[in-house]
Structure 1
Amino acid sequence: MQQAAKEQLARQAETAGWLEPSFEVEVVRTSRPLAPCAQAIRVEAADVRNPARMRFVAVCPDQGGWRYDFVTRNKISAKVAVAAADVPAGKLLAPGDLLLERHDISGMPDTFSDLGAVQEMSARRSLRAGDVLRQNMLVAPPLVKRGEPVRIVAKRDQIEVSMSGEALDTGARGAVVRVKNASGVTIRARVTEQGTVEPAELPAAN
């Protein structure tokens, strides 16, 4: 059960991008005795949505075999982004505001292990030095605002074409907004940087 839980956590860590994750797994004891099984017992995941508490099933494949449920309690730690100093609400985060520290994230699946992902985001509320940064604490600042001029840039291979336009929506980096181009035609565009968009039909730029 411990091995199955650790393998499942390792897969979730890879998907979530946790940095240097570490796991401690405790199998909750059961008072039910396990009957003998002539074949190798198979372990199946039953409910692994919550990394801190997962449920597995032990299956004896003998004819007329048995199935028993087991619960694991898991402690997960990883290096995550924390506030290096007090940050007032609304301030854009700069590299000097951030640190990577190891913390218990068992009940915090929405942390960040990539400092680049939170730089230039702003704090929804005041942060204290040492606070572990979570998604609900931060907001991406708008790079285009409704009614303001924007530059529409379309790149394909070595060719770049640009024209002026007007944003009809407000959006942060990566958001798809409506833009009226210089010809008066409304298009869907993806926000790429401050005051700049690209046609949404183009693949997202790296």
Structure 2
Amino acid sequence: MSITARLEQAAREQLARQAETAGLSEPQFTVSVATPRAAPPCAKPVNIEAVDTRTPARMRFAVLCSDAGGWKYEYVLRGSVSALVAVTAVPVAAGQALTVQDVTLERRDVTTIADAIGSAEAATGQATRRSLRAGEVLRQAQLSAPLLVKRGEAVIMLARFEALEISTAGEALDAGAINALVRVRNLANGRVVRMRVIAPGTVEPADIPRSAQP
């Protein structure tokens, strides 16, 4: 196999690992050596090492010869990545929680998008940080967990101990998504305590370990 072919194979394997880590669906790659050069002979099989693969459009790989008079050449490779990713099916307002009707999968070029979402399920239920047009690729940076408790709204303060469950009315002094810690005023005695958000309009004492919950 030629050095060019081995470089392209190494680059594809690297892109495939990155796509798997990112959770991309059905990724496809194109790769080419942007700086072809003839390498001197090497009595031993050359080694290929990744130098910088952070940007698929400009990756750097080194070819090393371990002969007594060995050499090392660097090559620039240009890659592109496409995959099935979550895309807005309709315009979405800022702060809106995405539903199954709002999200579809389409094949898009994601070479320059590091945080594309590889499934509709992963985007559904999350809230948008800004308004989005129909057909936009959904990115993790654009989404956040939806607020389950809003500042100033009435909440249920729920405490459980073994089979005993006690609920008290409270007022949220902070907004929070699932598992967020918020301040809540107990309406029965006026005390302000820190609580953990566990469901829409429902909080529990913050000092209860998550592993102890049913």
User: Shorter-chain TM-score category?
Assistant: 0.7 to 0.9
Q: Which of these residues, 113, 122, 136, is aligned with residue 117 of structure 1?
A: 122
Matched, 1:87 2:92: yes
Query: What's the counterpart of residue 178 of structure 2?
Result: 173
Query: Quick one: distance in 2 between partners of 1:178 and 1:44?
Result: 52
Query: Quick one: distance in 2 between partners of 1:44 and 1:162?
Result: 61
CA drift at 1:155: 7.7
What is the TM-score with the length of structure 1 in the denominator?
A: 0.80
Q: Which of these residues, 193, 198, 202, is aligned with residue 199 of structure 2?
A: 193
One-letter amino acid matched to 1:44: E
Alpha carbons of structure 1 residues 130 and 151: separation in structure 2 relative to 1, 3 Å: same
CA contact (8 A) 1:28 1:72 kept: yes
Query: Quick one: distance in 2 between partners of 1:96 and 1:168?
Result: 33
Query: Quick one: distance in 2 between partners of 1:197 and 1:66?
Result: 64
Query: What's the counterpart of residue 104 of structure 1?
Result: 109
Query: Quick one: distance in 2 between partners of 1:203 and 1:168?
Result: 26
What is the TM-score with the length of structure 2 in the denominator?
A: 0.77
Query: Quick one: distance in 1 between partners of 2:129 and 2:94?
Result: 6
How many percent identity over aligned positions? 49
- Return the index of the structure with the highest Cα Rg: 2
What are the Cα deviations for residues 1-20 of structure 1, in whole angstroms up to 9, with x where unaligned?
A: 11111111111111111111
One-letter amino acid matched to 2:15: L
One-letter amino acid matched to 2:27: P
Query: What's the counterpart of residue 63 of structure 2?
Result: 58
Alpha carbons of structure 1 residues 145 and 129: separation in structure 2 relative to 1, 3 Å: closer
Matched, 1:17 2:26: no
CA contact (8 A) 2:158 2:165 kept: yes
Query: Quick one: distance in 1 between partners of 2:166 and 2:82?
Result: 47
Query: Quick one: distance in 2 between partners of 1:95 and 1:12?
Result: 27
Unpaired stretches in structure 1, ≥5 consecutive residues: none
SS in 2 for 1:65: coil
Query: What's the counterpart of residue 14 of structure 2?
Result: 8
Count of residue pairs brought into register by the alignment: 202
What are the Cα deviations for residues 99-144 of structure 1, in whole angstroms up to 9, with x where unaligned?
A: 0011110011121112222223333443332221223433433112
How big is the alpha-carbon RMSD for the aligned residues of Structure 1 and Structure 2?
3.0
CA contact (8 A) 1:151 1:162 kept: no
Alpha carbons of structure 1 residues 89 and 168: separation in structure 2 relative to 1, 3 Å: closer
One-letter amino acid matched to 1:196: T
